[in-house]
């Protein structure tokens, strides 16, 4: 057994949706809330959080309608709904204060959490993420900004897309295909990436794409002006989805938050440099008194 072993607990959220909450870790440090990308599982975090889990409790949850969480009772799939789910998880576990770390588009939810609960969120670390991908950023030739629009269309073909994705991730040559594609760096944990991709494929694609559309397409730039907690951004210089300008704008919006840039890292930084990410995360938590 290690500090990341857990069984999910079902917790009722604001609208009655049953959220699968994952309580891990041990130690007396302030709890760390993991705000994952829509549809992701803990494969992306597992190696980076091993040492963190020795020092403090870790809380994660499955987004509503995905993985072990129940189907949404209401039609709410926006960042504010996911924030209420996270708060319900923390309340159930009795954690009044917490630090938050996010990956990818989970960063948009993390910003909402810091804004929604400023007296409880003590610090914020955004990994490979920014304030969202509003369509207006496409004018800067940032292709990631058209993804919410693509998701808004793709959700109507969820069954077909899900079947195609499941067939792709089941292929035995997937590891080689990933390496040849260049989508991850040479140091990436390929097994963890395959586990992550299969988790995406196992999701209800209509809910996943609708959630992505609602979360990522909703700019959180205005929220950042009111977020005053110590913040840190960690990004890769080869990230295909989060541009340097988005990282810089997010850092400025968070009061000039520091940025740590990993040379050679892509969007999948946590499985490419887990030890370095662990060290940087623990150092930041220590420096901010967490």
Q: Which fold does the domain 9-132+220-287 belong to in CATH?
A: Rossmann fold (3.40.50)
CA dist 24 and 20 (Å) reads 13
Beta partners for residue 32, in sequence order = 58, 99
| pLDDT (0 to 100) of residue 171 | 78
Q: What is the mean pLDDT of residues 221-229?
A: 92
Note the pLDDT tens digit of each residue in 43-98: 999 999 999 999 999 999 999 999 999 999 999 999 999 999 999 999 999 999 99
Longest CA pairwise span in the chain (Å)? 50
The 3-class SS string of the chain reads CCCCCCCCEEEECCCCCEEEEEEEECCCCCCEEEECCCCCCHHHCCCCCCCHHHHCEEEEECCCCCCCCCCCCCCCCCHHHHHHHHHHHHHHHCCCCEEEEEECCHHHHHHHHHHHCCCCEEEEEEECCCCCCCHHHHHHCCHHHHHHHHHHHHHHHHHHHHHHHHHHHCCCCHHHHHHHHCCCCCCCCHHHHHHHHHHHHHCCHHHHHHHHHHHHCCCCHHHHCCCCCCEEEEEECCCCCCCHHHHHHHHHHCCCCCEEEECCCCCCHHHHCHHHHHHHHHHHHHHCCC
Output the pTM of the full model: 0.92
| pLDDT (0 to 100) of residue 3 | 66
Which token pair is 105?
Answer: 């588009």
Residue 1 banded pLDDT, cuts 50, 70, 90: very low
If one compares 144 and 289, the residue with the highest pLDDT of the two is 289
Q: What is the mean pLDDT of residues 202-224?
A: 91
pLDDT exceeds cutoff 60 at 141? no
Mean pLDDT of the chain: 90
């Amino acid at each position: 057994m290690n500090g990341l072993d857990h069984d999910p607990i079902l917790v009722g959220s604001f609208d009655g949706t049953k959220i699968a909450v994952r309580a891990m870790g041990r130690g007396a440090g302030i709890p760390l809330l993991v705000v994952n990308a829509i549809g992701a599982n803990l494969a992306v975090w597992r190696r980076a959080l091993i040492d963190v889990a020795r020092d403090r409790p870790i809380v994660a949850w499955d987004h509503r309608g995905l993985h072990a969480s129940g189907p949404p009772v209401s039609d709410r799939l926006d960042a504010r709904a996911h924030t209420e789910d996270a708060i319900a998880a923390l309340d159930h576990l009795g954690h009044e204060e917490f630090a938050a770390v996010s990956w990818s588009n989970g960063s948009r939810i993390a910003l909402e959490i810091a804004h929604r609960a400023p007296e409880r969120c003590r610090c914020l670390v955004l990994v490979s993420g920014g304030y969202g991908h509003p369509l207006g950023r496409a004018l800067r030739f940032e292709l990631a900004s058209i993804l919410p629009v693509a998701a808004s269309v793709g959700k109507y073909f969820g069954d077909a897309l899900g079947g195609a994705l499941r067939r792709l991730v089941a292929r035995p040559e997937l590891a080689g295909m990933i390496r040849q594609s260049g989508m991850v760096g040479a140091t990436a944990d390929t097994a963890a990436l395959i586990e992550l991709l299969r988790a995406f494929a196992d999701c209800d694609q209509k809910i996943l794409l609708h959630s992505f559309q609602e979360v990522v397409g909703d700019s959180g730039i205005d929220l950042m002006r009111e977020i005053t907690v110590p913040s840190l951004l960690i990004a890769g210089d080869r990230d295909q989805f989060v541009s340097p300008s988005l990282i810089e704008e997010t850092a400025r919006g968070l009061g000039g938050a520091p940025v740590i840039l990993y040379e050679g890292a892509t969007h999948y930084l946590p499985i490419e440099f887990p030890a370095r990410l662990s060290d940087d995360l623990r150092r930041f938590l220590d420096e901010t008194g967490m």
